[in-house]
Structure 1
Amino acid sequence: MTTAANTVGERNAAPLEPGVWGVLATPFAGPNRDLDLPSLTRLVQFYEKCGATGLTVLGVFGEASSLSGEERTAILRTVATSTELPMVVGVSALATAPSIAEVTSARSAAGDRVRAVMVQINSGSPQVVIEHLHAIHAETNTPIVLQDYPVASHVTVSTDRVIEIVEACPFVCAVKAEAPPTAAAIARIVDRVSVSVFGGLGGQSLLDELAAGAAGAMTGFSFPEALVGCVSAWHAGDSDSAREAFIRYLPLVNYEQQPRVALALRKDLLARRGLIGDGAVRPPAAAFPEQLREIAADQLRRAELIEERGR
């Protein structure tokens, strides 16, 4: 088994390209909540128009755990034929064998368009995670984005453990840091290992994460153009413009990230913008709270005014 001691400094995966990797929502339609592939195509093309670096497909906010294998394949093929943007494909499984099956299926559906797969930390033991990642890479030869997202995995590890895992896995091309305080974690990771590190969580700490050395954002937001504007300005060396581009959207970011209903809130706003046909979610995800209808309309109105003033 390869260990951290003999892989430090021997990375064989190029760091994931910096920028915004938009996390795609999965649109549904009709009473049975069938896949709405035309809406998915429209959303994908909007991300491309906005200037996204790439797309994150079948992530937690893509409701991947509620999809059948056939639906996952349909989504990957739709994305692959709708844009030239590269993809990071989420792996829902925490165990090794089903994770390998998911990655193999994704590569079969989307081929070389799969830039990397995103695998969650699945154990509090670094050695268990290291063995898990090595097994996936040995079978699929696919670069891995390591996702530290305790809310979804129910696994909490220290930042030092994350670094230990990355050092022992030279095929890890990025870390998605979603265990608050994210900026502190990102600063420690980028100081120790030569991989790209991205923030998530809807962009709540994006400005601090960029200041800490993040390569960008790997997240969803109903106004992805705000994420792109912020990250692009930061990479151009203009931190003041980056803050100006994003800080006006922070009330909307905060609204979208409300616990338990965050997915429904974001999909509702995407539907209100006309980017998807319907904001429906699949159970067990919580539905949109009807009590927030007027608040959602006001949030959207204010965000659209920001867009108009920026044109």
Structure 2
Amino acid sequence: MTIEKLAPGVWGVLATPLTADGESVDTESLTRQVEHYVRIGATGLTALGVFGEAMRLTPEERRAVVGTVAAAAADLPMVIGLSALDAEAACAEAANVLDVLDRPPAGLMVQVGSPDPDAVVAQLNAVAERTGQGIVVQDYPVVSGVSIATDDLVAAVRRIPAAVAVKSESSPSPPAVATLVAGLDVPVFGGLGGTGLLDELAVGSAGAMTGFSVPEGLIACVNAFRDGGFTAAREVWRDYLPLVNFEFQAGIALSLRKHSFVHRGLIATPAVRPPAAIAPEALLGVLREHLRHTPYALPDRVGS
């Protein structure tokens, strides 16, 4: 198996746009979203992540998402998320989508399925061996329901030869990222909507792999840190952080971000699938105010 570690930078986690009734994937909007990431200089893309509502898509819809992203992504590498926590089901998910690609993905993102490091090693090595793909190890206990000690995660990843990155989303994220970076030789990316991005960079993260409606800000922050360190990145990031925090509200984060994408002209409707909650009407005006004050958010579209 030949694998390459993920390049540092910003790997945009894609939303899955839906038609207004929520019944179908809007591939035209998905193409527009991917083309935007290509245009702004993202390092790579992540399809079928939590932000992409992967667990609420049918197998046929997942194939459509992966095929659409691959067709629009130009030369950008792609990570494909797998929702299942057990190796057998994860491999079935991978088999469902891998054959629509004309080149291998940069990796398969698999959530940690057990607090036991030995079980994690068995789980992720099985997926790697059966699919022949590199593995992005995702630690996201709020979604998976699995909490693993960070030291145990370090011990597990050291025994996964196919690991190409770790996506750390265990709160508080900066201490977890610091421990992972110190103990591993694979890149560690932050997530959680970018809420801990600056501090994660300060303790050694390779960048961000997350969803945010103005990903230009993620890229600007990561580039500023690379070129000028903490002070330069902080100067850039402070203009985006109010919107980052506003969007990352429990239960309605996905809906808020989709509304932002609609205002930006990147998708056609803000539809989400249950059990995702719809953002309250009272907050949509607040969202427009945040967008008006956020660089690159196309304020000329806001309120139209």
TM over 0.5: yes
Q: Name structure 2 gaps, 5 residues minimum.
A: 300-304
Match of 2:123 in 1: 132
Task: Give the CA RMSD over aligned residues.
Answer: 1.7
2:3 touches 2:162 (CA, 8 Å); kept in 1? yes
1:123 touches 1:155 (CA, 8 Å); kept in 2? yes
Pair 110,306 (structure 1): closer, same or farther in 2 beyond 3 Å: closer
Pair 207,307 (structure 1): closer, same or farther in 2 beyond 3 Å: farther
| 2:107 paired with 1:102 | no
Match of 2:30 in 1: 40
Three-state SS of the structure 2 residue aligned to 1:265 is: helix
| 2:21 paired with 1:31 | yes
Q: Residues 1-311 of structure 1: matches in 2 within 5 Å?
A: 13-83=3-73, 84-304=75-295
- Residue 33 of structure 1: CA displacement? 3.2
Letter in 2 for 1:115: A
2:264 touches 2:298 (CA, 8 Å); kept in 1? no
Match of 1:5 in 2: none
Could you give the per-residue CA deviations for residues 103-150 of structure 1, whole angstroms, max 9, x where no partner exists? 222321224241101000111111111111111111111000000100
Could you give the per-residue CA deviations for residues 161-208 of structure 1, whole angstroms, max 9, x where no partner exists? 110110111111110010012111111111111000000001001000
Three-state SS of the structure 1 residue aligned to 2:251 is: coil
Could you give the per-residue CA deviations for residues 54-95 of structure 1, whole angstroms, max 9, x where no partner exists? 001000010001111111111111111112211011001112
| Distance in 1 between residues matched to 2:2 and 2:69, nearest whole Å | 27
1:121 touches 1:155 (CA, 8 Å); kept in 2? yes
Letter in 2 for 1:199: G
Match of 1:3 in 2: none
Could you give the per-residue CA deviations for residues 251-283 of structure 1, whole angstroms, max 9, x where no partner exists? 111000011111111111111111111111011
Moved over 4 A (4+): 304-308
Q: Name structure 1 gaps, 5 residues minimum.
A: 1-10
| Distance in 2 between residues matched to 1:290 and 1:125, nearest whole Å | 43
Letter in 2 for 1:251: P
2:22 touches 2:271 (CA, 8 Å); kept in 1? no
- Residue 212 of structure 1: CA displacement? 0.5
- In percent, how many aligned pairs have the same letter? 47
